[in-house]
Structure formats: structure tokens, C-alpha cells
Amino acid sequence: MVTAGVFLGPVASCFCTSFHNTMSPLMWIEMMLILSQASGTSGVDWKADYPKVVLTKMGEDVTIPCNVTYPPSPSKELVQAYWKRQGKIKLTINDNDKNEFLYHPINTFVIKSFQNRTNLTGNVTKGNCSLNIKGIEEGDMGNFYYLRIATGANNFSFINQLVSIQISESKLQRRKMTPKFLLQRSSMSPSMATSRVQAIRWTVWIKWTVYMQMWIMQNSDEAASQISALLNNTC
């Protein structure tokens, strides 16, 4: 191995010197650019930054904030951003990613339920690919939104970074879940509310025990009616 290395060293050196002398400075620059693209020495990787969950209310518009970085492309084509979801597209497209479009610059490529409802709010060439969706509907809920970038030379889907759109709990829903006696004391602190609930439960339990004993020992109609009233009030 050492002998071969000593023998080939001068040959390789001679070849490189001769090759260097026959190349113009412009040719050297072009070769260095090609090598840097091939080896990925630009230091920029495919990266998208957007939340996993976006909360909204039914019927309201919502924006999925998104920032993206991607390797520089030798292509002169404009960089394109698409938003997609899992589900095979019915159109014939020249693309490895066959999932449905939720946003596409050509509206007819978008699935019907999202047509004329989606648009980009940022400039993808500046790294902003935020998606706006108008009038959130029931069918928009789910964990299936993701970004795809096309630079002209390369395409990349962030299919492992899915966004979920969820409906936030409204005040009306919270009121429906709150007992009436707590609504009457809306200024009550959480600890006070908890104490009051425990006190009411304890009072009900004592009454239940007393009336049950009366009913068992005396077969009292009054006890039976009180037990029935307790059941109606606690159910």
C-alpha cells in the first residue's frame, strides 16, 4: 500500500498541475459551484417552522404561520410553496407526491372543499409560506396539513410535520359545563368553588343516609319521598 501511494503521488500531482494550467479562471469557478451543489456544502437544509396545533372557532378565518429554509437551487424557476393533506389526488400530475392540494397557485388543482378558500399570506422566496384558510368548516378539522416546497431543481414534502386545526372551547361551552350554583358566584376562586362542591356532596350524603335509615326502620313514606327528591336533584 505504501509503495503504491509513493508511485501514484507524483502521477496525480502531475495530472492536477497540467489540468490546472489548461483551465481558465471562469472554468474553475463553474467547477467549484458544481462541486458545492453536489456535496451540499451550502450549509442550508430543508427546514419548516410551523405549529403542530392551530386553534380557531367554527366559521372564522385561520392562518397557519410558517417559515421555511431550503438549499439554493441552480434553477431559474420561481420557488413554489404548496399546502397538502394526506389523500390521493384525482388529477394526473408529474410529481412524486400524489397527495391532495389544499393550496396551489392554480385553483383547479385544489380539492373542491378548499377551492377559493386558501391563499399564501407571505412571500416564499423570503422564507414565509403562511397559509390562510377562510371560514373554517367541520371538514377542515384534523391532523393532516403539511407543506411542500418546489425549487425547480428539487422538491421536498414536510409530510412528517403535520399541522392539526382544532376548535377552541367557547365561553358558551364552558358555561354549559359549569354547575348553576357556580355560575351564580362567577367571582368565586377555584379553591372556594372546590370547597363548596365538597360541602354540597357531604350534605347530600348525610341526608341520604338519614332518610335511608328512616325508610328501612320505619318504612316511612316521607323518607321515601325525600330519597326520591334527592335522586332527582343529584342526577
User: So where are the chain's domains?
Assistant: 47-168, 174-234
CB 87 within 8 A of CB 100: yes
Query: What are the pLDDT digits (tens) for 72-128?
Result: 888 888 999 999 998 888 877 778 888 999 999 999 999 999 999 999 999 999 999
∠ at Cα 117 (82, 106), nearest 5°? 45
Query: What is the per-residue pLDDT for 211?
Result: 62
pTM of the model: 0.55
Encode pLDDT of 162-182 as tens digits: 999 998 865 445 545 555 544
Helix segments in 23-64, DSSP class H: 25-39
Euclidean distance between CA atoms 166 and 170, whole angstroms: 12
**Greater model confidence, 18 or 82:** 82
Q: Which of helix, strand or coil describes residue 102?
A: strand
> What phi and psi, each to the nearest 5 degrees, are found at residue 70?
-150, 155
| Alpha carbons 34 and 72: distance in angstroms, whole number | 12
pLDDT at 214 over 80: no
DSSP string covering 28-91:
HHHHHHHHHHHHTTT----EEE--SEEEE-TTS-EEE--EEE----S--SPPEEEEEEEEE-SS
The number of helix segments (H) and strand segments (E) in the chain equals: 6, 11
Burial class (CB in 10 A: 0-12, 13-18, 19+), 211: buried
**Sorting pLDDT into bands at 50, 70 and 90, what band is 228?**
low
Residue 101: burial class (beta carbons within 10 Å; 0-12, 13-18, 19+): buried
Whether the predicted pLDDT of 131 surpasses 60: yes
Top-level CATH class of 47-168?
mainly beta
122-126, 142-146, 202-206: least confidently modelled range: 202-206
pLDDT at 18: 47
Closest by Cα among 96, 99, 152 to 124: 152
Cα atoms in the Cβ-side hemisphere of radius 13 Å centred on 233 = 14
C-alpha cell at 4: 503504491
What is the grid cell recorded at 106? 392554480
